[in-house]
Amino acid sequence: MPDGSAPPRRRDPEATRLGILDSALVEFSDNGLSGARVDAIAARTQTTVRMIYYYFGSKEELYRAVLERAYASMRAAEVDLRLQDLAPADAIRRLAGHAFDHHEANPRFVRLVSIENIHKAEHLARSPEIEVMNRTVLASIQAVLDRGQADGSFQAGATAMEVHLLITAFCFFRVANRYTLGAVFRQDPLDPALRAGQRAMLVRSVLEYLRS
């Protein structure tokens, strides 16, 4: 029995590496880059600080690796929306609905992006792969807009980046600013009771804008 599912090995470099990445995602997204502690990352995944430097070289490079991995897994879920099979309005509905759900389901990604903006995206700038991944989003939005303008269901003039901003802003904001909003308005914006109303508002406002 050659046993593909790992028995308790004393050495497993890949598992160690991934364990560090998992632990680092939690630590960085909870505390930010400067707030994160290398000791805490090592402790959480039951390895030693030395291993972090063995595999990643420095705290900042580890942070960059975490950021890359988070972007990659976020975009991976976006590939098979099959927007081309839907009528333009339905494609926008699916696109916006998916963005809404996916941001809510991945608050650590959202926090990481907020953190990276505090650092003026200087680590993202050193990850050329990320840029490639994200640009495809604009292309698929543009294709939907073109189809919608061709069949008359959308106005002319909206750019793909504008529409992406309009959709993503709302999805991102309600997750990223959950706590200040909750403190100020004494109401958690992610309260399940508010979810359907917010989701419908997003979809409707985008569609009505494109139609107008």
Q: How far is the CB of 45 from a copy of itself (least distance, A)?
A: 22
Smallest gap, in angstroms, from Cβ of residue 62 to DNA? 8
Report which residue type is found at 191: D
- Cβ proximity to a copy of itself: between 46 and 212 the closer is 212
- Using CB under 8 A, which of 34, 48, 58, 84 touches a copy of itself? 34
If binding means CB under 7 A, how many residues of this protein chain bind DNA?
22
Q: Which of a copy of itself, DNA, none does 53 bind, CB closer than 5 to 8 A by kind?
A: DNA
Quick one: DSSP state of residue 32? H
Distance CA 167, CA 92 (A): 10
Q: Does 184 bind a copy of itself (CB under 8 A)?
A: yes
- How many other β-carbons are positioned within 10 Å of the β-carbon of residue 177? 14
Residue 50 near a copy of itself by CB under 8 A: no
For the stretch 86-94, contacts whose Cβ atoms lie closer than 8 Å and that sit 24 or more positions apart, written own/partner, are 87/153, 88/144, 88/145, 88/147, 88/148, 88/151, 88/153, 88/154, 89/148, 89/153, 89/207, 89/210, 91/144, 91/147, 92/144, 92/148, 92/163, 92/203, 92/206, 92/207, 92/210, 93/203, 93/207
Instruction: Identify residues 143-172 at the interface with a copy of itself (CB under 8 A).
Output: 158-159, 161-162, 165-166, 168-170, 172
In this structure, what are the phi and psi dihedrals at residue 86, rounded to the nearest 5 degrees?
A: -110, 155
Among 3, 50, 184, 196, binds DNA (CB under 7 A): 50
59 binds DNA (CB under 7 A): yes
Give the Cα separation of 116 and 119 in Å (integer): 5
**Listed ranges 46-54, 74-82, 124-132, 180-188: which one lies at the site for DNA (CB under 7 A):** 46-54
Contact residues for a copy of itself, defined by CB under 8 A: 31-35, 111, 113-121, 124-125, 130-131, 134-135, 138, 158-159, 161-162, 165-166, 168-170, 172-174, 176-187, 189, 194, 197-198, 201-202, 204-206, 208-209, 211-212
